[in-house]
């Protein structure tokens, strides 16, 4: 049922995780944020309207209600993102330790501005709020991985390793 309703091919692990989450709380709705995380992971890192409608059916909620929740939280991408989502922290402890230089370096290297995706769909660059890496600044996340104490050279190494 979970896989059958899904508008895109869901992996067996994804199906298992959703099934587990839907039965994990005294009130099913509590699983909404967690299921959105799984669906986004399974759907190439973003949620389109078909994903929203799918989740709405799983929970028996109107799609507008699910969209309202998804749009509240910054980690749900409601538009396509690159294969690698680069998130650079520019909050205070990173900004006083060179975060803007890191952003400028990535912009130059990839030929895009913050908020944009490279034409080949490989990288999306955004700036984000505090990642909790204030003691090891500047910091960024590439997809789910943290990279800290960044220098332009270190950034290059990380991006070189992205295939």
Partner 1 sequence: MGEMKVLLKNVHKPNSHLLSTYKEGGGYETLKAALKMEPSQIVEEVKKSGLRGRGGAGFPTGLKWSFVPKTDAPKYLVCNADEGEPGTFKDRVIIEKDPHLLLEGIAISCYAIGAHRAYIYIRGEYEFGAQVLENAIREAEEDGCLGDRPMGHDYPIYITVHRGAGAYVCGEETALLDSLEGRRGHPRIRPPFPASKGLYQSPTVINNVETLSSVVDIIARGGDWYASLGTEKSKGTKLFSISGHVQKPGVYELVMGTPFKELIFEIAGGMRPGRNLKAVIPGGSSTPMLTADEIDIPLDYESLMEAGSMLGSGAVIVLDDTTCIVKETYRLAQFYAHESCGQCTPCREGTHWMVQILKRIVNGQGREEDLDLLLHIGDTLGGNCLCPLGDAALGPVISSVKKFRDEYLEHIKNKRCPIGG
> Which residues of this protein are in contact with partner 1, per CB under 8 A?
24-27, 29-34, 36-37, 59, 68-69, 72-76, 90-93, 95-97, 129-137, 141, 144, 146
User: Please, what is the minimum distance in Å from the beta carbon of residue 126 to partner 1?
Assistant: 11
Of the pair 30, 111, the CB lying nearest partner 1 is at 30
DSSP character string of 6-66: -SSPPPHHHHHHHHHHHTSSSSGGGGHHHHHHHHHHHTTT---HHHHHHHHHHHT--HHHH
Of the pair 6, 47, the CB lying nearest partner 1 is at 47
User: Please, what is the minimum distance in Å from the beta carbon of residue 119 to partner 1?
Assistant: 27
Of the pair 30, 151, the CB lying nearest partner 1 is at 30
Q: Which residues are 125's β-sheet partners?
A: 86
Q: Please give the order of strands across the beta sheet that includes 84-89.
A: 123-128, 84-89, 140-142, 145-147
């Amino acid at each position: 049922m979970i896989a059958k309703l899904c508008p895109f091919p869901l992996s067996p692990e994804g199906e298992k995780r959703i099934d587990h989450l839907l039965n994990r709380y005294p009130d099913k709705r509590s699983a909404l944020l967690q299921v959105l995380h799984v669906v986004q992971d399974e759907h190439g890192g973003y949620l389109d309207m078909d994903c929203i409608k799918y989740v709405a059916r799983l929970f028996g909620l109107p799609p507008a209600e699910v969209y309202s929740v998804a749009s509240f939280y910054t980690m749900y991408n409601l538009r396509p993102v690159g294969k690698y989502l680069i998130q650079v922290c520019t909050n205070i402890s990173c900004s006083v330790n060179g975060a803007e230089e890191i952003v400028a370096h990535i912009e130059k290297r990839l030929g895009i501005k913050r908020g944009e995706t490279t034409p080949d769909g490989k990288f999306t660059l955004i700036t984000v709020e505090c990642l909790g890496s204030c003691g090891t600044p500047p910091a960024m996340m590439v997809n789910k991985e943290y990279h800290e104490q960044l220098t332009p050279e270190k950034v290059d190494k990380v991006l070189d390793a992205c295939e």
